[in-house]
Amino acid sequence: MAFYGEYRFEIFDGVYEPAEDTYLLADNLYVEERSLVLDLGTGCGILGIIAAKKAKMVVTTDISPIAVKCAKYNVKINGLTKNVNIILGDLFQPLRTQKIFDLIIFNPPYLPKSPYDINNWLSKAWNGGKRGRKVIDKFLEEFDNYLKRRGRLQLVQSNLSNPQLTIKKLEEKGFSVEVTATRKLPFFEELYVLTAWR
């Protein structure tokens, strides 16, 4: 079980347990009152549930059916079934409408993969491919199609997967980018929260 403020979360087997990256983004979320939020790769649902405290509606997606089941359970036990909608699917694939979100939040798989890593639902939560950028780059190609003109993006990234390249790609799309939080981890890893807006 995990806790954040007034909320509690059950973590089902095979679902990513909230860790430093999750809490760094949670501590630095900027959600406007009555906004529409998209939480991609929701896992146990923690970020979407936290965002729902202020948001009018939170839509979450996850590629893992186990994570979707876990997130639905956590939404229920935290009393937020009316304003959190959880959908099974890969990134934006299950979404039909575009350019409606005020905020997109994403804690992507960003760790470079070892050839010896096991491939299962849990590994999909952290396995970012050979350079740690497989999912991040796919996300960056599409995200602005789902963001309102004045919308914002907040995502976590590690120095192991080249956050400078992410910033460059965002700036090439016409976004301003700020590193709004950092956290040093053991073994020379550092996490960043990147916040971007047009």
pLDDT band at residue 125 under the 50/70/90 scheme: low
pLDDT score recorded for residue 113: 76
Residue 6 has pLDDT above 90, yes or no: yes
| Domain presence at residue 4 | no
Residue 5 lies in a domain: no
Percent of the chain with pLDDT over 90: 80
The Cα 54–Cα 100 span in angstroms is 17
Question: In the prediction, which pLDDT does 72 show?
Answer: 98
Contact 41, 108 (CB under 8 A): yes
CB contact set of 115 (below 8 Å; sequence gap of 6+): none
Question: What band does 109 get if pLDDT is binned at 50, 70 and 90?
Answer: confident
Q: Average pLDDT of 52-72?
A: 96
Residue with the larger pLDDT of the pair 193 and 132: 193
Range of the domain at 66: 20-197
Q: Per the structure block, which two tokens stand in for 125?
A: 């939560």
Buried b (16+ CB within 10 A) or exposed e, 56-84: ebbbbbbbbebbbbbbbbbbeebebeebb
pTM listed for this prediction: 0.92
Let me know if residue 158 belongs to a domain.
Answer: yes
What is the spatial distance between Cα 80 and Cα 52, in angstroms, rounded to a whole number? 8
Domains of the chain: total? 1
Give the max Cα distance, the chain: 45
Question: Is residue 116 predicted with pLDDT exceeding 60?
Answer: no
Report whether pLDDT(65) > 90.
yes
- Identify which of 143, 162, 160 has the alpha carbon closest to the alpha carbon of residue 103: 143
Q: What rounded mean pLDDT belongs to the chain? A: 92
Give me the CATH number covering residue 70.
3.40.50.150
Asked if residue 43 is part of any domain, the answer here is yes
Residue 14: pLDDT above 80?
A: yes
Tell me, yes or no, whether 29 lies in a domain: yes
- The predicted pLDDT at position 89 comes to 95
The owner of tokens 């501590």 is 27
Q: Is 12 inside a domain boundary?
A: no
107 with 25: CB under 8 angstroms? yes
One-letter amino acid identity for 45?
G
Tell me the two tokens of residue 86.
């959880």
pLDDT tops 90 at residue 128:
no
